[in-house]
Chain A
């Protein structure tokens, strides 16, 4: 069927083969027939062939090579998903010969434009490493490069590769530490787990122990002098704080693994006072599947030993239900025991009492042990526990009795002198208790502590001697034991009894008992023959037996990183990375500083997940540190706000409605426009006023504009190499790189958002592109092809540039309707010989155009955009940006907004509307004392609003 030329038949055949593989049947004979279909057009057949290939290529290396060329072709495909899948399969084929090909492919993919392909490249790294560890050095280079990647998509995968290939190269993390911390919240959940675990280790090597002073205090009690010398005021590294702050929200994740990862991070890294926050989240996980509970409880058990107080408020959440599986019950019991202290012991013991009546006998046994441990740990309740346990001796279940006797035995061994009455009581029990194990244990106890019960012991022996023949074997052995011990301590009373018992034992049916009797007789009864040993008989039998220590099996488990497999097994698992100790002194924190890049790359390196999901943590995250997260920061040359393009119509929501028409202003000739205003209003009296006010405002604006224009010209002159023949303000605008000189083979393209109205279509954002041909040959037929856009987006291409001679430069303007989203517009830039994939991604500030509003209008509009539509944020202004002028400049640089006149000098107001939908965007910066300020953005489109807040914050704080 595989040879058929019908896809349906092939598919059917492949399905059957896959079913065979799934069942574990060998299908390797079919390899040649299957490999042929690797180039099949049908996607499903192709996918199944891939499945087959990956499974059997290792066994049939030679034949697998036939398929390689298909993948190599796939790697060059224009579709990023095909490139990715080709790389994925290529790297999954474990054939040593193709290592160089894989290496090449990974390197190429690592600098691919699509983050998805780069992610796949990161995935491929560990595959190649496991195939050929000698490639390590080269792979580390790739990892280093990918670590610098700014997309959330790549971050998780590359850290995973880092962990598998070179976990010891902690130095690679320095430069990326802050970025990883800030991106963390947006990384997919599996990546979060890996990153958090890695950062835990990193933090342990780079920061000081936050609890160092507390521990010193503890030490102080033991050795006061040494501690005093060491004590230094502890100041937490801001990066350390950043990590703790950025991981905290992840405790709210739905993924148990993420929660656990954060919990262990806090447990290992946070100051004592802060660790408590994780308890609630961990308790929540106890509602999850039983396997999750199992792992969480193991970790909680370890935590409770060190930090008991943390879980005390949640004591009741660990109460056991009869429907829990036994292993969960036992772990909960462990936690309850660890949590027990003087105040809550009575409730815990009451709980335990109900557990003892459970039907699950393993669990009952564990409960008894737990009671024993509570009794040893808390002195006050020891007697109560003992009494309770003694009552259990009458239980019908052997296991329960045996367990209680064992526990009583342990408890008694601690302070035998105090509890002779219990021993007496137990001696009495011998009449009633039928369970052989319990009888045996009691006899052992009496024998061991016969000095404390000198009167009763011989009597017990007498009774036992009487019933000796009817006893079980273990009881018989203990009777002999008891007899021997009594003979040694109290030979006067018990000599005859011992003789009698030993005689009975001599003729017992069981050879064990006969042997024991013979052995003991030789040992204790002095005869001529037995020389040396009998002297030591007393020492042999009545040596002081050390009391068993009852402690948690989870003690000392915390030297394994919590949440790890090794911790769970309490044994080192393969590939486990030790959690390093805190360093004595902090390594240089400046290694994590990252220089701010002047030239900004915008080739799709940042996906703003925030466009769709402004989980606006980043703003918070970047407040505390100086890390320039967004690439659209305000460090570029100050740009002057052109107050020129007024909207031609506005929403008729609020009267008075201003109709503004624009006409070209001759003196600049560069797209600035003069404005004439006409007011249309429901009430004529209003109209007069508003016209006046708006006109006076307009005058102000005009003046301001004049001033700015002058400044602009000065600026422009100072940079004479930038051509501004077509559009003047370009010099002041920030340029983004679209195509680098090297990737473009000599052709370099930069673009900027000119902030001009795009004349062919008002809903489009004008993008000015600047082409420079650095190559030695001419470039012809520059045009755009194959535009890939999110739904709703549109592009108006620039007219084809027919010839760009070598060394020349030219500009063109294209329009893009971004649909008010920061999604990138992807397209191909084609020359007569080559095609380049490029993308334009707008900063949110460029998705709007200025709107002219008066103060009153502004207030009115603002009052209608309250509540959900208002986002405000407190900030501290950058030192250089404390005056009004600087604020205006920075805001207008970051976003295409116009200033709204304002009476108060403490407030700066700005207004604009989004290009496509025309929703109003209002921004207010209210300054307070000492650089404190409040930024408020009102916008109907919340997504835009949140992003704008973030960008403005960045602009104002740095």
Chain B
């Protein structure tokens, strides 16, 4: 399985290596660097690289490449999925997953990697178990540790790996028992030039933050479970009950976790919350281009559209943009040609617009490609698919937990072609 892991930063330095079997020389990464040079964009480095003796499987997260060295046949997704799990764990532990954070916590990182893999085969990847084995560093704990000389390795050996509910540790205790669920939906859409929808899908997740004492057994039911077309569950969810009754029944892990991700099928009509009027033209011969963009709310069910951010990659020929936003601020990066406009909240009475001219390279002919417009937005307190949680019940424990649910709609990969 996984032989070694190298972490490579954006400038191409290996700043951490870990071997689970015999040591593999770091020169194996040279093949990776070669591929990195060939690729124009950082994300274009092929995830799987074949070298004479090894295979390199890499993922790019937070501008760090995680390069795993493989010697024999193994499902590539197995490795990729594992590497992502490693990054998630780091993020969980250190808050951010940056080179600096990893370097600062190199010992914890090493201990984590040691626990996560044995001889290249994943061993403990549940964050609940790992946290019992190795406590995450906090400022307070670091201080206490330096003063008292105690450690961040769990004093007691964990029982989680042995328990019947491997994702939950035993003996959890809270004074305030609370369970919060966030229903977050993202709209993926492609809108064509004329404003009609080419494809639109809703992808949703339910993230949970459960802090409950003991071994609670929760059930979550929906008002309209038939909406969910395709779902994937956290391992704690009982599949059978979902199949039979469309009820989520589970013993939750402790803390934050993703309970469910779902897909609302594209067969249903998807409400598109905003519309874009655009007019981006380049005149032949002149070194000027017109840029005109107006946003407006469409189907928002009376909720405000917030945190709108428009970005567009302008053609290479554009030298500068001289625009005038009716609200918010815009920036144009002349190097990457990326135009971003931070709109903020859309006021339906006074629609935000961005108008002005673009100056083109003198003498160059008019660019023949059209920029696409990417839109990000947020709508609070609404799930655009109309999904509603009916009720949450708890069994197995006597106390009354505090329950909360929050809905939010976001734009996912929302693109408008021009």
Q: Which residues of A contact B (CB under 8 A)?
A: 6-8, 11, 15, 18-19, 21-24, 42-44, 47-48, 50-51, 55, 58, 79-82, 88, 91-92, 94, 114-116, 120, 123-124, 126-127, 130, 157, 160, 185, 188-190, 193, 197, 249, 252-257, 259-261, 280-281, 283-284, 287, 289-292, 294-296, 316-317, 319, 321-323, 325-327, 351, 354, 357-359, 395-396, 563-566, 568-569, 571, 573-577, 607-617, 620, 790-791, 823, 868, 940-943
Q: Is the CB of B415 within 8 A of A23?
A: no
Known contacts A254-B261, A563-B75, A614-B238; A82 and B43 CB within 8 A of each other: no
- Interchain residue pairs A-B with the least CB separation, the first 9: A575-B72, A612-B165, A8-B149, A316-B199, A44-B151, A44-B153, A576-B73, A325-B43, A81-B157
B135 → chain A, closest Cβ, in Å? 11
Assess whether A47 is in contact with B372, with CB atoms less than 8 Å apart. no
A11 touching B121 by the CB < 8 A rule?
Answer: no
Residues from chain B with a CB closer than 8 A to the CB of A22 are 16-18, 106, 109-110
Task: Establish whether residues B70 and A565, one from each chain, have CB atoms under 8 Å apart when the complex forms.
Answer: yes
B331 at the interface (CB under 8 A from A): no
Task: Decide if the interface of chain A is mainly helix, strand, loop or mixed.
Answer: helix
- Contact status B75-A354, CB under 8 Å: no
What is the chain B residue whose CB lies nearest that of A571? B50
* 30 residue pairs from A and B, CB less than 8 Å apart: A18-B110, A22-B16, A22-B17, A44-B152, A50-B114, A115-B162, A120-B118, A197-B75, A253-B235, A254-B258, A257-B81, A281-B232, A284-B230, A287-B203, A319-B199, A322-B372, A325-B43, A351-B198, A354-B417, A357-B370, A358-B369, A359-B369, A396-B365, A569-B48, A573-B50, A609-B165, A616-B238, A617-B239, A940-B395, A942-B396
Docked pose: A170 CA to B396 CA in angstroms = 44
A575 / chain B contacts, CB cutoff of 8 Å: 71-73
Among the stretches B20-28, B93-101, B345-353, the one at the interface with A is B20-28
Complex Cα spacing A80 to B219, Å: 34
Given contacts A294-B47, A571-B50, A573-B73, contact A23 B157 (CB under 8 A): no
Chain B interface (Cβ < 8 Å from any Cβ of A): 1, 14-19, 21-23, 26, 40-41, 43-44, 46-48, 50, 55, 58-61, 70-78, 80-82, 84, 106-107, 109-111, 114, 118-119, 121-123, 125, 149, 151-155, 157-158, 161-166, 168, 170-171, 188, 190, 192, 198-199, 201, 203, 215, 217, 219, 229-241, 243, 247, 249-251, 258, 261, 263, 266, 313, 315-316, 365, 368-372, 374, 393, 395-396, 413, 415, 417
State the CA gap A953–B78 with chains docked (Å): 36
In the complex, A58→B374 CA distance in Å?
54
CB of A296 within 8 A of CB of B50, answer: no
**CA of A130 to CA of B72, assembled, Å:** 13
When chains A and B are docked, how far (Å) is the Cα of A858 from the Cα of B249? 27
**Measured between C-beta atoms, what is the minimum distance from A739 to chain B in Å?**
21
A598–B144 alpha-carbon span in the complex (Å): 58
Report the separation of the CA atoms of residues A609 and B236 in the bound assembly, to the nearest whole angstrom: 11
A571 to B151, CA, bound (A): 48
Cβ of B319 to closest chain A Cβ, rounded Å: 16
Contact between chains at A321 and B75 (CB < 8 Å): no
**Is the pair B119, A126 in contact by a Cβ cutoff of 8 Å?**
yes
Name which of A42, A82, A188, A608 has the most chain B CB atoms within 10 A of its CB. A188
Expressed in whole angstroms, the Cα–Cα distance for A294 and B240 within the complex equals: 32
B119→A253 contact, CB < 8 A: no
Provide the bound-state CA to CA distance between A289 and B417, in Å: 23
Q: How far is the CA of A288 from the CA of B296 in the complex (A)?
A: 30
Q: When chains A and B are docked, how far (Å) is the Cα of A354 from the Cα of B196?
A: 14
A260-B114 contact, Cβ under 8 Å, with A47-B153, A55-B19: no
| Closest A residue to B148 using CB positions | A8
CB of A295 within 8 A of CB of B77, answer yes
B41 contact set on A, CB distance < 8 A: 325-326
Q: Tell me the nearest residue of chain A to B59, going by C-beta.
A: A291
CB distance from B372 to the nearest CB of A (A): 4
- Partner of A256 from the list B48, B81, B109, B111 (CB cut-off 8 Å) is B81
User: With a CB–CB cut-off of 8 A, which chain B residues contact A8?
Assistant: 149
Given A81-B161, A317-B199, A568-B76, 16 more A-B residue pairs with CB atoms under 8 Å apart are: A58-B22, A254-B258, A257-B75, A257-B78, A289-B61, A295-B48, A323-B415, A325-B44, A563-B77, A574-B72, A575-B73, A576-B72, A577-B73, A611-B164, A615-B239, A868-B219
CB neighbours of A292 from chain B (8 A): 77, 80-81, 84
**A7 engages B149 (CB within 8 Å):** yes
Which partner residue on chain A sits nearest B265 by CB separation? A280
The contact of B118 among A23, A123, A289, A576, by CB within 8 Å, is: A123
Tell whether, in the assembled complex, residue A94 and residue B22 are in contact, meaning their CB atoms are under 8 Å apart.
Answer: yes
The smallest C-beta distance from B105 to any residue of chain A, in angstroms, reads 10
Contacts of B415 in A (CB 8 A): 321-323
In angstroms, Cα B76 to Cα A359, docked, is 31
B235 CB contacts on chain A under 8 angstroms: 189, 253-254
Cα separation A18 to B16 with both chains bound (whole Å): 11
Contacts of A23 in B (CB 8 A): 15-17
A615 touches B240 (CB 8 A): yes
Given contacts A254-B232, A571-B50, is CB(A116)–CB(B161) below 8 Å? yes
Chain A residue numbers with a CB within 8 Å of B163 are: 612, 790
Instruction: List the B residue with the shortest CB-CB distance to A249.
Output: B239
CA distance A24 to B165 in the complex (A): 38
Contact B71 A574 (CB under 8 A): yes
Residue ID in chain A nearest B17 by CB atoms: A24
Assess A357 versus B369: contact at CB under 8 Å? Given A24-B26, A256-B81. yes
Q: How far is the CA of A116 from the CA of B157 in the complex (A)?
A: 13
Q: What are the residues of chain A within 8 A of B201 when measuring CB–CB? A: 317
Compute how far the CA of A91 lies from the CA of B217 in the bound complex, rounded to whole angstroms.
39
Contact present for B217 and A942 (CB under 8 Å): yes
The answer to whether A43 touches B151, judged by C-beta atoms less than 8 angstroms apart, is yes
Residues of A within 8 A of B22 (CB): 58, 94
Q: Point out the residues of chain B lying under 8 angstroms from A189, CB to CB.
A: 125, 235
A94 CA / B3 CA spacing, docked (Å): 14
In the bound complex, do residue A612 and residue B168 qualify as a contact, i.e. CB atoms below 8 Å apart? yes
Given contacts A7-B149, A577-B73, contact A256 B107 (CB under 8 A): no
A114 to B393 alpha-carbon distance, docked (Å): 35
Residues of A within 8 A of B50 (CB): 569, 571, 573
**Which B residues touch A791, using CB under 8 A?**
170-171
Q: Which residue of A lies closest to B43 (CB)?
A: A325
Task: Report chain B residues within 8 Å CB of A940.
Answer: 395
A275 nearest CB across to chain B (Å)? 16
User: Are B77 and A157 in contact (CB-based, < 8 A)?
Assistant: no
When the two chains form the complex, which single residue of B44, B47, B111 contacts A47, counting CB atoms closer than 8 Å?
Answer: B111
Distance in Å: Cβ of A87 to nearest Cβ of chain B: 10
Q: How far is the CA of A82 from the CA of B109 in the complex (A)?
A: 22
Which of B161, B163, B232 gathers the greatest number of chain A CB atoms within 10 Å? B232
| A925, chain B: closest CB distance, angstroms | 19
Rounded to whole angstroms, the CA-CA distance of A655 and B207 in the bound complex is 43
**Are B315 and A868 in contact (CB-based, < 8 A)?**
no
Determine whether the beta carbon of A566 is less than 8 Å from that of B313. no
Min CB distance A354 to B, Å, is 6
Which residues on A sit within 8 Å (CB–CB) of B236? 613
Inter-chain contact A80/B162, CB cutoff 8 Å: yes
A6–B46 Cα distance when bound, in Å, is 49
Given A254-B234, A292-B80, the answer on whether A354 and B151 have CB atoms closer than 8 Å is no
Contact of B81 among A114, A255, A351, A354 (CB under 8 A): A255
**Is B59 touching A157 in the complex (CB atoms < 8 A)?**
no
B60 cross-chain contacts in A, Cβ below 8 A: 290-291
**CB-CB < 8 A to B1: which residues of A?**
160
| Residue of A91, A260, A359, A574 touching B75 (CB-CB under 8 A) | A260
Is the pair A289, B164 in contact by a Cβ cutoff of 8 Å? no
B305 vs chain A, min Cβ distance (A): 21
Q: Smallest CB–CB gap between B58 and chain A, Å? A: 8
B313, A942: Cβ atoms under 8 Å?
A: no
Check A289 against B59 for contact (C-beta < 8 Å).
yes
Residues of B contacting A290 with CB < 8 Å?
43, 47, 60
Complex-state Cα separation, A594 to B21, whole angstroms: 38
Contacts of B168 in A (CB 8 A): 612
Given A130-B21, A612-B163, A319 contacting B198 (CB threshold 8 A): yes
